[in-house]
Amino acid sequence: MNYDAVRTVINNHFLLKKCMAVVPAGIGLICMLGAATPNSAGMVVPGLLAFAACWYMIATATRQQEECLAQFANFEQKSSSWYRSTYPEFSKNGRVTCRHCGSHKINVRGLGQNTFHREHVCVECGKTLYYSPEQNI
């Protein structure tokens, strides 16, 4: 499990999203250059809107990137070995039990695209106990 490699994948994904902001930036620049020519002052507003869209795209991607990395750090920290060492009374003879209700029934559930993780959930009380990486990382 290489967490740093996955972090690079996440960062590259959002870098690409930020690069897409070059489209409205270019449109905004063309509008502003157009507005500098005689009788074309009407292009200032579309130009400003395009720049606003550019800023919005970068700000949104930055926020999503921070959320994604924070979530990933949480998965990394709350691993199976973390659970076993933090709650040794709930992992006896190699079997993990729920620390909330003591149940032995633990389900594994995929967390979906771009999370690279599955969660281990207690069938009885529904609480998430820990996370494990998907096998392809």
Residues in contact with Zn ion by the rule CB under 5 A: 98, 100-101, 103, 122, 124-125
Contact 24, 51 (CB under 8 A): yes
Instruction: State in angstroms the smallest separation of the CB of 128 from Zn ion.
Output: 10
Nearer to Zn ion, 45 or 101 (CB): 101
**Rounded least distance, CB 80 to Zn ion, Å:** 16
- Using the minimum distance from each CB to Zn ion, give the nearer residue, 55 or 90: 90
- HEC profile of 14-52: HHHHHHCCHHHHHHHHHHHHHHCCCCCHHHHHHHHHHHH
Q: Provide the pairing of β-strand 95-96 with 91-92.
A: antiparallel
Centre a 10 Å sphere on the Cβ of residue 24 and count the other Cβ atoms it contains.
Answer: 19
Residue 5 vs 125, nearer CB to Zn ion:
125
**CB closer to Zn ion out of 63 and 105:** 105
